[in-house]
Amino acid sequence: MPPILPDALAAADKIAYLSRAGIFSGLGQGDLAKLADLAMPREYAGGEVVIHQGDFGDAIYFICRGGVDVFIRNREGAESVIGRLAEGDFFGEMALLTGAPRSASVRTSGDALLLWLDKKDFDVFLREHPEMALLFSRILAERITAANRLHERQIGREEQLKKLLFQEEEEHLTRLVGRTKQFQAVEKRVEELSGGAEPLVIVGPEGAAVEDVARLLHFRSPRSGRPFMVVDLGGGEEWRTYRARARGGQKDAEEEARLFEDYQVSTVFGHEGGAMRGTEASRLGCIELADGGTIVLKNVDRLAPGSRERLNIYLLEKKFYRLGGMGVLAADTRVIGTLTAPEGEENPAKVFRGRIPPILLRNRINLPPLSSRRRDIAVIAETYLEKHAALQGKEIKDISHQAVNTLVRYSWPGNDRELESVIERGVMVCEGDTLLAEHIFLGLTPYSEKGRANLLRLGPFRRAFANLRLRGLLQGAMVPALLAIIAVNLTGLAVRGVSVGTALFWYFMLPLLFLSFILLGRVYCSICPIHGLTRLLRLIGSGERPAPKVFGRIGVAGAAFFTIAFFWMEDAFLFRENPMRTAAFLIFLLVAAAAANFVFKQEVWCRFMCPMGYMSGTFACLAAVELRANNSVCSSQCKSALCFKGDGASPGCPMGLFPVSLTSNQNCKMCGTCVHNCPFNSIHLDLRWPGAEIWENREPALVTALTVPAMLGIVFPLLLHQNRHIGGGLAAYTLLFLAAPLALLGLFSLACLTGGRAEWPRQAAAFGFAYLPLAFAGHLACQFPYLLTGWRWLTGAPQAARYAAAGPRVLIVGVGLLWGAWAMRKLSPGRPRGALSAHGALMTAAGLGLLFLAAA
Ligand code: CMP
* 51 ligand 1 Cβ < 6 A: yes
Instruction: Identify which of 84, 85, 106, 137 to mutate to test ligand 1's pocket (most ligand atoms within 8 A of the CB).
Output: 106
Close Cβ partners of 727 (under 8 Å, ≥ 6 residues apart): none
| Cα of 104 from ligand 1 centre, angstroms | 6
Span of 155-169, 278-292, 533-547 with lowest mean pLDDT: 155-169
Q: Whose alpha carbon is nearest atom 6 of ligand 1? A: 92
In the predicted model, what is the mean pLDDT of residues 537-561? 78
Q: What CA dihedral angle connects 580, 584, 586 and 590, to 10 degrees?
A: 150
802: closest CA among 710, 708, 722? 722
* 104 ligand 1 Cβ < 6 A: yes
Q: In what order do the strands lie in the sheet with 105-108?
A: 49-51, 105-108, 68-73, 79-85
Could you identify the atom of ligand 1 that is nearest to the CA of residue 95? Answer: 3
| Cα of 143 from ligand 1 centre, angstroms | 7
Q: In what order do the strands lie in the sheet with 453-454?
A: 453-454, 683-687, 625-629
Q: Which phi-psi region, left, alpha or beta, contains residue 704 (left: φ > 0; alpha: ψ -120 to 50)?
A: alpha
| CA distances (Å), origin 445, targets 53, 358, 418, 663, 696 | 37, 35, 10, 8, 10
Neighbours of 448 (CB within 10 A): 10
* 659 ligand 1 Cβ < 6 A: no
* 50 ligand 1 Cβ < 6 A: no
Tell me how far apart the alpha carbons of residues 117 and 36 are, in angstroms, rounded to a whole number: 9
The pLDDT of residue 335 is 96
* 70 ligand 1 Cβ < 6 A: yes
Instruction: Please give the full DSSP string across 118-141, using - where no structure is assigned.
Output: EHHHHHHHHHH-HHHHHHHHHHHH
**Contact 342/366 with Cβ under 8 angstroms?**
no
| Alpha carbon of residue 447 to chain centroid | 7
Beta strands in 382-537, from DSSP E residues, in sequence order: 398-399, 434-435, 453-454, 494-495, 498-499
In the predicted model, what is the mean pLDDT of residues 224-229? 79
Hey, which of 95-99, 589-593, 671-675 has the most confident mean pLDDT? 671-675
The pLDDT of residue 521 is 93
Tell me how far apart the alpha carbons of residues 38 and 58 are, in angstroms, rounded to a whole number: 14
Tell me how far apart the alpha carbons of residues 227 and 223 are, in angstroms, rounded to a whole number: 8
pLDDT digits (tens, 9 = 90+) for 479-495: 899 999 999 999 989 99
* 147 ligand 1 Cβ < 6 A: yes
Instruction: Identify which of 23, 80, 91, 123 to mutate to test ligand 1's pocket (most ligand atoms within 8 A of the CB).
Output: 91
> Alpha-carbon Rg of the chain, whole angstroms?
35
| Alpha carbon of residue 629 to chain centroid | 8
The pLDDT of residue 345 is 63
| Cα of 69 from ligand 1 centre, angstroms | 10
Instruction: Please give the full DSSP string across 723-737, using - where no structure is assigned.
Output: TT---SHHHHHHHHH
| Cα of 495 from ligand 1 centre, angstroms | 86
Close Cβ partners of 128 (under 8 Å, ≥ 6 residues apart): none
Q: Which residue has the higher pLDDT, 502 or 644?
A: 502
Span of 156-160, 382-386, 783-787 with lowest mean pLDDT: 156-160
Residue 624 identity (one-letter amino acid):
A
Instruction: Please give the full DSSP string across 579-644, using - where no structure is assigned.
Output: HHHHHHHHHHHHHHHHHHHHHBSS-HIIIII-HHHHHHHHHGGG-SEEEEE-HHHHHHH-SS-HHH
| Cα of 106 from ligand 1 centre, angstroms | 8
Q: Whose alpha carbon is nearest atom 19 of ligand 1? A: 83
* 107 ligand 1 Cβ < 6 A: no
Could you identify the atom of ligand 1 that is nearest to the CA of residue 147? Answer: 18
Largest CA distance in the chain: 118
* 93 ligand 1 Cβ < 6 A: yes
| CA distances (Å), origin 181, targets 367, 372, 373, 727 | 12, 10, 8, 65
| Cα of 57 from ligand 1 centre, angstroms | 11
Q: Whose alpha carbon is nearest atom 20 of ligand 1? A: 83
In the predicted model, what is the mean pLDDT of residues 93-99? 79
| Cα of 515 from ligand 1 centre, angstroms | 64
Phi, psi (degrees; rounded to nearest 5) at 687: -80, 140
pLDDT at 545 over 80: no
* Average pLDDT value for the chain: 84
* 102 ligand 1 Cβ < 6 A: yes
**Banded pLDDT at 445 (limits 50, 70, 90):** low
The pLDDT of residue 292 is 85
> Measured on CA atoms in the order 791, 795, 796, 798, is the torsion positive or negative?
negative
* 91 ligand 1 Cβ < 6 A: yes
3-state secondary structure of 668: coil
The pLDDT of residue 2 is 43
The pLDDT of residue 169 is 42
Span of 76-80, 308-312, 704-708 with lowest mean pLDDT: 76-80
pLDDT at 145 over 70: no
Instruction: Identify which of 61, 62, 94, 117 to mutate to test ligand 1's pocket (most ligand atoms within 8 A of the CB).
Output: 94
Hey, which of 37-46, 353-362, 419-428 has the most confident mean pLDDT? 37-46
In the predicted model, what is the mean pLDDT of residues 340-348? 68
Instruction: Identify which of 103, 117, 150, 283 to mutate to test ligand 1's pocket (most ligand atoms within 8 A of the CB).
Output: 103
In the predicted model, what is the mean pLDDT of residues 617-632? 91
Q: In what order do the strands lie in the sheet with 294-298?
A: 228-232, 294-298, 334-340, 200-204, 364-366
Residue 784 identity (one-letter amino acid):
F
pTM to 2 decimal places: 0.60
Close Cβ partners of 850 (under 8 Å, ≥ 6 residues apart): 715, 716, 719, 774, 777, 778, 781, 813, 817
pLDDT digits (tens, 9 = 90+) for 726-772: 777 889 999 999 999 999 999 999 999 987 888 899 899 999 999 99
pLDDT at 167 over 80: no
Tell me how far apart the alpha carbons of residues 480 and 814 are, in angstroms, rounded to a whole number: 39
| Cα of 332 from ligand 1 centre, angstroms | 24
| Cα of 719 from ligand 1 centre, angstroms | 79
Element (H, E) at 203: strand 200-204
